[in-house]
C-alpha cells in the first residue's frame, strides 16, 4: 500500500492503479486501497493525458532508457499500442535499448523488477496479483509468466504454477528457467514421470544445467528408477560435492539399493558441516543398518534443526508407527510456525483434538484469513473441520468443510464430465474377449492390485494382506500406474506385452514370498490392461456405504491436483457414480479375479471375513492377518493413525452426523441406485 501511495503522490496514476488492483484482488475489503482507487477513478481523461505528456517530456530531456521504458509501458496501459510502437522505434537510445523498447511496445516484455522484489521479500500473493494484472498488457512475456510460476510455487500452489509455466514454455520452448520450474511443480505434485519426460532428453546435452539434472535425479528416485538415479547422482556428486540436495538424493538412492553403508559414509562426512540438514535421511539409513532403536536414538538427540527438517522427521516417525513422538513434534512445529498448515494437519491425522487447545483457535483464525495464500487458507479450513468433528461440533465442522473445500476447488480447472467420459471409454475398450485376445503370459507373476476410491479402508486391507507370510507389499508405488496408463485405451497384445515387460522386475516378489501387492488405487482405470498383462493377477477393492466414503473423501484434504473431484459434493457424487459403473464392468468381465471386500462386514466380523477374503485371493488363511495393528511396515497414507489401531467399527456411522448437509450428494447417489 505504501508503494501505491508513493506512486500516486508522484503523479504516476496508471502505475498506482495497477498496484491498487493487485492489492484489492487479494484483499477486496482493504479500506485504504478502496478509497485510493475511488480517488484515482475520478481522474479525468485530461489528467491521464497530462501524466503521459510528463513522462514523454522526461524521456526526451534525459534520453534515459528507463524513462523511455516507463513512457512506453504507460502508453500500452492506456491502450495506445500503436503510439507505443512508434515511440519505441524513434526513441533516442542505443540499438540494444531500442530492441528492448520494441519488446515492451509489442507486449512481449514487461518490467518485472518490482515483482522480483516482492517475491524476494516473501510477498508472493501480491507478486502474483500484480503480475497477473500486468500480464493483461503483456500477454506474450514468457519471463513474466515464469515469475508468476515462481510466486505460485513459493505459495505452494503447484497446480497454478504448472498452468502459467506451461504457457511460458509454449511461448519460449528453449527458456530453461521455465522448464526447471515446471519440473519442480511436477515434483511437488508427485508426478515424477512427467519430470522425466520433460527433462530426460535435454539433460543429456553437454551444456545442461545442474538444476535440470538435479530435478531429473529427484524424479528418477521418486519413480523408483534407482539405477538411473544412482548413475546421475554419482556424476552430480563429483561436480558439486558440497551440494546438500544432491547428497540427499544420492543417499536415499543408495539406501533404496541396499547400499546403506555407502549412504552412511556420505552422510557422516556431510554432518561435519554446520549447515547439515539431512537428519531424516541419516535416521532412515540407521534404521536400515542398525534397526529402529538406533534410528530413534539418533532422532532423540537432535536439537536446533530447521523447521523443514523437523517436519520431515515428524512425518517419518508417523510412518514408522511412533505416533506419540510424531504428534509431539507436529504440535511443537504448529506452535512455532502458526501460518503453516502442514503440522496442524499431521497432528490431526495422528490423534484426536480436544478442547481447550490453543492450536484449534489458531486453525479457526487462519481458516478465515484471506491474507493467507488460498492453498494454505483452504487447508487450514479442513484441518479446523477435523478438530470440530473430533469435538463433536458437527454443524460448525460442516461449515468449515464447505468453506475450505470451496477455496481449494477454485485453485484447479476441472470438469467431472471429462472423467466420466474417460471411464466410459476405458470400459468400452476392455471386454472379456478383448482381455483374452490381448493377454500375454510372459512373466508368470500373480500380483494383487488393490484398486478403487480413497477412504474406503484400503490401507486396512493392504495391512491385513501384508501380514500374510506369502505377501510382499509394494505400497502406493507409481510405477505400475504409469506403465499401465500408456496402454489404458490400447487393447492389443503388443501394448500389454510392453506393460508386462516393464513391470516384471517391479512386481517380482522377493525370496520367500509368493505374491506382491500394489495399492495405487487409481489403477482402477487400468484393470483391463493389467488383467491382460498378468493373466493370473487378482484385483481387490474395498467398498463401503458410498455416503460414508464420499463424506470421508470430502473431509480428508486429499491432494488437490490428484483428486479435483473431491471438493464439491455434486462433482464427487457424479465421479463416484462413474467409478461405480466401471467397477461393475470389471466385476462382470473378470469374475472371480475381481474380488470385492465389504468394509462394514470386515470390521464387524473380521474372524470370518478376513479368512474368506484370503481364500478368494488364493491365499491360505493366517492368524497374523487378524491383527493388522501389530504390523511394523511403514505406512505413509492418510490412515497412518487409524492403521495402528485394532480393527474397529467405530467410524461406520460417522457420516450420519452430516446427513442433511450431504443431501446434494445423496440425491445423485440415490438416483443412480448407489444408496
pLDDT at residue 596, as a whole number: 96
Nearest to 185 by CA among 574, 560, 619: 560
Express as a percent the part of the chain with pLDDT over 90: 66
pLDDT value at 653 more than 90: no
Residue 641 confidence class, pLDDT cut points 50, 70, 90: low
* Residue that is written with C-alpha cell 519442480 in the block: 184
How much is the average pLDDT of 186-199?
A: 92
pLDDT at residue 557, as a whole number: 87
Q: Could you tell me which residues come within 8 angstroms of residue 1 by beta carbon, excluding any fewer than 6 positions away?
A: 23, 30, 32, 33
Q: Where are the domains of the chain?
A: 2-185, 203-305, 437-671
Residue 16 confidence class, pLDDT cut points 50, 70, 90: low
326 vs 126, residue with greater confidence: 326
pLDDT value at 29 more than 50: no
Distance of CA 35 to the CA centre of its chain: 39
Q: Which three cell numbers stand for residue 319?
A: 510412518
Q: Could you tell me which residues come within 8 angstroms of residue 98 by beta carbon, excluding any fewer than 6 positions away?
A: 88, 89, 91
pLDDT at residue 137, as a whole number: 86
Residue 632 confidence class, pLDDT cut points 50, 70, 90: confident
pLDDT at residue 8, as a whole number: 45
pLDDT at residue 25, as a whole number: 59
- Judge if pTM exceeds 0.95: no
50 vs 202, residue with greater confidence: 202
> Over the stretch 147-167, which tens digit does the pLDDT of each residue have?
999 999 998 888 889 999 999
> Over the stretch 492-506, which tens digit does the pLDDT of each residue have?
999 999 999 999 999
Q: Could you tell me which residues come within 8 angstroms of residue 308 by beta carbon, excluding any fewer than 6 positions away?
A: 277
Helices 323-336 & 341-350, crossing angle to 10 degrees? 150
Residue 326 confidence class, pLDDT cut points 50, 70, 90: very high
Topology agreement, domain 2-185 and domain 203-305 = yes
How much is the average pLDDT of 44-57?
A: 71
Is the separation of the CB atoms in 540 and 461 below 8 Å? yes
* Residue that is written with C-alpha cell 523408483 in the block: 224
DSSP 339: T
Residue 633 confidence class, pLDDT cut points 50, 70, 90: low
pLDDT at residue 639, as a whole number: 55
Q: Could you tell me which CATH number the domain at 2-185 has?
A: 1.25.40
> Over the stretch 471-498, which tens digit does the pLDDT of each residue have?
999 988 899 999 999 999 999 999 999 9
pLDDT value at 30 more than 60: no
CATH class of 203-305: mainly alpha
pLDDT at residue 483, as a whole number: 94
Is the separation of the CB atoms in 353 and 386 below 8 Å? yes
What is the rounded distance in angstroms from the CA atom of residue 143 to the CA atom of residue 136? 14
What is the rounded distance in angstroms from the CA atom of residue 15 to the CA atom of residue 48? 11
- Residue 356: asked if its preceding bond is cis (omega within 30°), the reply is yes
pLDDT at residue 37, as a whole number: 53
pLDDT at residue 17, as a whole number: 62
What is the rounded distance in angstroms from the CA atom of residue 613 to the CA atom of residue 538? 12
How much is the average pLDDT of 95-100?
A: 88
How much is the average pLDDT of 16-37?
A: 55
> Over the stretch 582-600, which tens digit does the pLDDT of each residue have?
999 999 999 999 999 999 9
Give the CA distances from residue 463 to residues 447, 458, 556, 580, in Å, rounded to whole numbers and listed in that order. Answer: 16, 9, 20, 24
pLDDT value at 383 more than 80: yes
Is the separation of the CB atoms in 99 and 69 below 8 Å? no
Q: Which of 1-10, 258-267, 602-611 has the lowest mean pLDDT?
A: 1-10
Helices 394-409 & 374-390, crossing angle to 10 degrees? 160
Is the separation of the CB atoms in 519 and 462 below 8 Å? yes
* DSSP codes, 529-575: HHHHHSTT-EEEEEE--HHHHHHHHHTS---TTT-GGGGSHHHHHHH
336 vs 39, residue with greater confidence: 336
What is the rounded distance in angstroms from the CA atom of residue 410 to the CA atom of residue 567? 9
pLDDT value at 122 more than 60: yes
pLDDT value at 74 more than 90: no
Is the separation of the CB atoms in 373 and 125 below 8 Å? yes
pLDDT value at 33 more than 60: no
422 vs 111, residue with greater confidence: 422
pLDDT at residue 3, as a whole number: 56
Q: Could you tell me which residues come within 8 angstroms of residue 70 by beta carbon, excluding any fewer than 6 positions away?
A: 55, 59
pLDDT value at 239 more than 90: yes
Which residue blocks in 271-340 are alpha helix, DSSP H?
A: 279-290, 292-300, 307-320, 323-336
DSSP 522: G
What is the rounded distance in angstroms from the CA atom of residue 98 to the CA atom of residue 203? 35
pLDDT value at 31 more than 50: no
Burial status of residue 125 (CB atoms within 10 A of its CB: 0-12, 13-18, 19 or more): buried
Give the CA distances from residue 663 to residues 82, 398, 551, 567, 578, in Å, rounded to whole numbers and listed in that order. Answer: 56, 13, 11, 15, 19
Residue 14 confidence class, pLDDT cut points 50, 70, 90: low
How much is the average pLDDT of 84-112?
A: 87
Nearest to 222 by CA among 261, 185, 259, 196: 196
* Residue that is written with C-alpha cell 504448472 in the block: 162
pLDDT value at 537 more than 50: yes
pLDDT at residue 330, as a whole number: 96
Is the separation of the CB atoms in 474 and 465 below 8 Å? no
Give the CA distances from residue 482 to residues 19, 36, 221, 486, in Å, rounded to whole numbers and listed in that order. Answer: 44, 53, 15, 7
User: Reduced to 3 states, what is the DSSP secondary structure of residue 515?
Assistant: strand
* Residue that is written with C-alpha cell 501387492 in the block: 517
**How high does pLDDT run on average in the chain?**
89
User: What homologous superfamily does CATH list for 437-671?
Assistant: P-loop containing nucleotide triphosphate hydrolases (3.40.50.300)
> Over the stretch 394-437, which tens digit does the pLDDT of each residue have?
999 999 999 999 999 998 889 999 999 999 999 999 999 999 99
What is the rounded distance in angstroms from the CA atom of residue 231 to the CA atom of residue 267? 18
* Residue that is written with C-alpha cell 540407521 in the block: 286
- CB-CB neighbours of 297 under 10 Å: 12
pLDDT at residue 34, as a whole number: 46
Nearest to 318 by CA among 350, 286, 290: 350
Helices 176-188 & 142-154, crossing angle to 10 degrees? 30
Amino acid at each position: 500500500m505504501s508503494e501505491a501511495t508513493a506512486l500516486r503522490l508522484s503523479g504516476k496514476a496508471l502505475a498506482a492503479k495497477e498496484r491498487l488492483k493487485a492489492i484489492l484482488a487479494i484483499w477486496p475489503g482493504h479500506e485504504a486501497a478502496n478509497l485510493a482507487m475511488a480517488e484515482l477513478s475520478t481522474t479525468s481523461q485530461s489528467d491521464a493525458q497530462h501524466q503521459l505528456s510528463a513522462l514523454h517530456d522526461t524521456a526526451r530531456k534525459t534520453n534515459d532508457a528507463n524513462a523511455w521504458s516507463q513512457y512506453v509501458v504507460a502508453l500500452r496501459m492506456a491502450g495506445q499500442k500503436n503510439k507505443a510502437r512508434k515511440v519505441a522505434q524513434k526513441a533516442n537510445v542505443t540499438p540494444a535499448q531500442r530492441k528492448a523498447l520494441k519488446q515492451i511496445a509489442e507486449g512481449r516484455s514487461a518490467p518485472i523488477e518490482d515483482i522480483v522484489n516482492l517475491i524476494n521479500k516473501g510477498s508472493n500473493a501480491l507478486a502474483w496479483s500484480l503480475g497477473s494484472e500486468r500480464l493483461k498488457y503483456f500477454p506474450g512475456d514468457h519471463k513474466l509468466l515464469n515469475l508468476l510460476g515462481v510466486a505460485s510455487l513459493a505459495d505452494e500452489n503447484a497446480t497454478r504454477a504448472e498452468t502459467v509455466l506451461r504457457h511460458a514454455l509454449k511461448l519460449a520452448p528453449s527458456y530453461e528457467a521455465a522448464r526447471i520450474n515446471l519440473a519442480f511443480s511436477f515434483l511437488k505434485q508427485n508426478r515424477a514421470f512427467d519430470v522425466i519426460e520433460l527433462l530426460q532428453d535435454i539433460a543429456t546435452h553437454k551444456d545442461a544445467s545442474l538444476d535440470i539434472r538435479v530435478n531429473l535425479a529427484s524424479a528418477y528416485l521418486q519413480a523408483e528408477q534407482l539405477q538411473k538415479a544412482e548413475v546421475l547422482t554419482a556424476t552430480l556428486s563429483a561436480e558439486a560435492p558440497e551440494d546438500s540436495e544432491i547428497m540427499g538424493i544420492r543417499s536415499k538412492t543408495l539406501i533404496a539399493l541396499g547400499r546403506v553403508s555407502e549412504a552412511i559414509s556420505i552422510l557422516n562426512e556431510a554432518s561435519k558441516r554446520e549447515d547439515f540438514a539431512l537428519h531424516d535421511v541419516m535416521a532412515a539409513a540407521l534404521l536400515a543398518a542398525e534397526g529402529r532403536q538406533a534410528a530413534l536414538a539418533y532422532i532423540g538427540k537432535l536439537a536446533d534443526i530447521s523447521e523443514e527438517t523437523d517436519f520431515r522427521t515428524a512425518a517419518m516417525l508417523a510412518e514408522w508407527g511412533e505416533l506419540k513422538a510424531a504428534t509431539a513434534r507436529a504440535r511443537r512445529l504448529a506452535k512455532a510456525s502458526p501460518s503453516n498448515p502442514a503440522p496442524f494437519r499431521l497432528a490431526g491425522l495422528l490423534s484426536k483434538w480436544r478442547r481447550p487447545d490453543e492450536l484449534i483457535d489458531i486453525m479457526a483464525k487462519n481458516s478465515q484469513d484471506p491474507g493467507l495464500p488460498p492453498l494454505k487458507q483452504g487447508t487450514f479450513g479442513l484441518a479446523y473441520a477435523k478438530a470440530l468433528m473430533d469435538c463433536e461440533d458437527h454443524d460448525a465442522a460442516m461449515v468449515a468443510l464447505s468453506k475450505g473445500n470451496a477455496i481449494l476447488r477454485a485453485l484447479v480447472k476441472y470438469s467431472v464430465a471429462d472423467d466420466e467420459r474417460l471411464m466410459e471409454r476405458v470400459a468400452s475398450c476392455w471386454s472379456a474377449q478383448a482381455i483374452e485376445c490381448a493377454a500375454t503370459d510372459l512373466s508368470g507373476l500373480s500380483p494383487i492390485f488393490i484398486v478403487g476410491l480413497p477412504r474406503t479402508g484400503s490401507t486396512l486391507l493392504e495391512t491385513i494382506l501384508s501380514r500374510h507370510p506369502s505377501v510382499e507389499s509394494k505400497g502406493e508405488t507409481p510405477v505400475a500406474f504409469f506403465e499401465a496408463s500408456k496402454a489404458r485405451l490400447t487393447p492389443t497384445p503388443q501394448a500389454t506385452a510392453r506393460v508386462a515387460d516393464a513391470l516384471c522386475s517391479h512386481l517380482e516378489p522377493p525370496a520367500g514370498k509368493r505374491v506382491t501387492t500394489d495399492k495405487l488405487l487409481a489403477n482402477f482405470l487400468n484393470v483391463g490392461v493389467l488383467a491382460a498383462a498378468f493373466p493370473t493377477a487378482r484385483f481387490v477393492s474395498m467398498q463401503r456405504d458410498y455416503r460414508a466414503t464420499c463424506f470421508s473423501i470430502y473431509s480428508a484434504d486429499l491432494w488437490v491436483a490428484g483428486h479435483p473431484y473431491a471438493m464439491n459434493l455434486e462433482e464427487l457424487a457424479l465421479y463416484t457414480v462413474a467409478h461405480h459403473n466401471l467397477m461393475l464392468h470389471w466385476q462382470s468381465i473378470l469374475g472371480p479375479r475381481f474380488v470385492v471386500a465389504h468394509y462394514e462386514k470386515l470390521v464387524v466380523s473380521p474372524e470370518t471375513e478376513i479368512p474368506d477374503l484370503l481364500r478368494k485371493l488364493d491365499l491360505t488363511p493366517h492368524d497374523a492377518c487378524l491383527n493388522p495393528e501389530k504390523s511394523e511396515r511403514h505406512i505413509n497414507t492418510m490412515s497412518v493413525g487409524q492403521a495402528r489401531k485394532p480393527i474397529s467399527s467405530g467410524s461406520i456411522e460417522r457420516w450420519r452426523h452430516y446427513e442433511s448437509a450431504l443431501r446434494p450428494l445423496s440425491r445423485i447417489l440415490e438416483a443412480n441406485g448407489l444408496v
